Amino acid sequence: MADPDPFVDVLAANAEYAAGYDLGGLEAKAAKGVGVLICMDSRIDPLHMLGFGPGDAKILRNAGARVTDDVLRTLILARYLLGVERVMVVQHTRCRMAGGGEDDVHEAIKDAGGPDTRSLSFLTTTDQEAAVRLDVQRVRSSPYLADTTVGGFILDIDSGRLRRVC
Ligand SMILES: [Zn+2]
C-alpha cells in the first residue's frame, strides 16, 4: 500500500475552510495600504497583531525579516500595483536569526543532520536594532521606492507589543 499523502490533514482542513469561504469578493489591493515584512516565525500572527484581516495588508515573510533583493522586488510591485503606501519592517525578540552569528546557524543545521551550508548567508545579526535601521534604509534608498513611508519595529514575542525603532 502506498504511503498516505503527507498533506492529508491540511487538505481535510482546507475542505472545511472552502465550504465556509466568503472572501472571494476581496480586492487584490491592500485595503489599508500597508505592506509588512516580518519573520517566518510561526508564533507571529501578522494580520491580527495590527488589527487587520484578510484583504488589508501585503505580508512578506522570510527568516529574520531581512530586506533582500526579492523583498525589494515584491515591495515595488506592492507599491505601484497593489495599493501599498506604508511599509513596516518588523523583526522580533528571541529570533533565531538574531541570536548569534552565521557560524552558529551553520553548526546547528549540521547538528540537526543537515548539509554543510557554509556557502550560504543567512543574514543573521547580533545587533537587531542596527539590522532594523539598516533594512529600513535599504528600502528607503531604493530608487524605485522613493516617497514610500517606511518604519522599523521590533515585536516583543512574549508580550505581543511592537516597539518603533525608526
Ligand atoms: Zn524570527
Contact assessment for residue 75 and residue 139, using Cβ atoms and an 8 Å cutoff: yes
**Cα 39 to middle of ligand 1, angstroms:** 5
Q: Are 55 and 31 in contact (CB under 8 A)?
A: yes
CA of 42 to the centre of ligand 1 (A): 9
Q: Kindly report, residue by residue over 98-139, the tens digit of the pLDDT.
A: 988 999 999 999 999 999 999 999 999 999 999 999 999 999
Q: Could you count the other beta carbons within 10 Å of the beta carbon of residue 12? A: 10
Q: What is the pTM of this model?
A: 0.95
Separation of CA 90 and ligand 1 centre (Å) = 10
pLDDT in tens, 45-104: 999 999 999 999 999 999 999 999 999 999 999 999 999 999 999 999 999 999 889 999
DSSP string, 71-134: HHHHHHHHHHHS---EEEEEEETT-GGGSS-HHHHHHHHHHTT----TTS-----S-HHHHHHH
Ligand 1: centre distance to CA 85 (Å)? 25
Please give the distance, rounded to the nearest whole angstrom, from the Cα atom of residue 25 to the centre of ligand 1.
Answer: 33
Greatest alpha-carbon span in the chain: 59
Task: Please tell me the distance between residue 10's alpha carbon and the centre of ligand 1 in angstroms.
Answer: 24
